[in-house]
Amino acid sequence: MSLAAENQQRMFLQWCMSARLSSETQLRETIRRIYADESMDVQEIVDSANICLAKYSLELRSSMDQTTGTRQWAMVNTNADIIATGATPYSQSELAFLKALVENIFTQEDGNYAISLHDALRTDLRNGTTGMQRGQAEKLVTEFCKDKWLARSQDGWVVLGTRAIIELQPYFTDGFSDYQRHCALCSEMATQGVVCTECYAVVHPYCAEQLALSANPMQQSSTADAGSAQLSCPKCRRQISRPMRFGPGMPGVPHSIEQTQAEPAVLSPEEESTSRGRKRVLDDSDQEEDVISD
């Protein structure tokens, strides 16, 4: 690597460490500004950066927003249990509370990955972690949401935040695999979506919308939801006319009734080529929107 390339990579890594969490749009704009090359491949730059970061147990990872399809990037600690390592600005008692909250949300028996604020504030008392007062607990929940470890849904449910979804997946896999779900279309972790009543495959709300749109290109995005009669399961290929729904405020799909863990859909070479083409169109569309917004 040339000296100029090393300097560019150093600037990029410094920006990532400072930003901590960024949208795909912000990442692309930063790469464009630092490398001054419109043709630079984002994934190639990220892969190169991750080779450098590996020696420090760090990695750039991304996750798709399950309802909008937008992608978020974060520099994460690759240790399986970041909550227990103390690799955060919180005290040990605050970390214990965060860990209890995350586990409580992730292991809800109704499969909705969401708890009420009332239950969130009672989590500490049930676990006997710190014995903090309600006001302290509420302030901490607000702080966890600000730092993206947690989030509040539109109707007030406490759910996992973007950082938790990106950074804690190895932690969930190692300790809570029975509660972990993955989208059968994109393979990413799912904490909301629909479940096929035939094969129990899971599909994100956004991925379900894309499936409906691909089946009926003339259908408007606002009507192409998981309840569409055009939605076919990407795993068993049967129509999902009455999908089971899970997520904050949804009826829920208890983990106990799932007969099998949904696996990513196996595509034929033709389908895989079409899928790549759709992704390229979506990426190009996002870039066009960025140009217009600029």
Q: Whole-angstrom Cα distance, residue 285 to residue 65?
A: 17
Dig out the tokens for 124 from the structure.
């500490």
Q: Is 239 helix (H, G, I), strand (E, B) or coil?
A: strand
pLDDT of 129 reads 56
Q: How far is CA 267 from CA 30, 186, 198, 237, 276, in A?
A: 34, 12, 19, 11, 11
- Which residues, at least 6 apart from 65, have a Cβ–Cβ distance to it below 8 Å? 71, 72, 162, 206
Supply the pLDDT for residue 44.
92
Residue 256: the pLDDT is 81
Q: What is the pLDDT of residue 125?
A: 55
Write out residues in the chain with pLDDT < 70, as ranges.
80-88, 124-131, 217-230, 258-294
Instruction: Write the CB contacts of 266 (distance below 8 Å, at least 6 apart in sequence).
Output: none
Tell me the two tokens of residue 84. Answer: 């227990």
List of residues 6+ apart from 81 with CB closer than 8 A: 171, 174
d(CA 119, CA 208): 30
Which tokens sit at 223? 């009507």
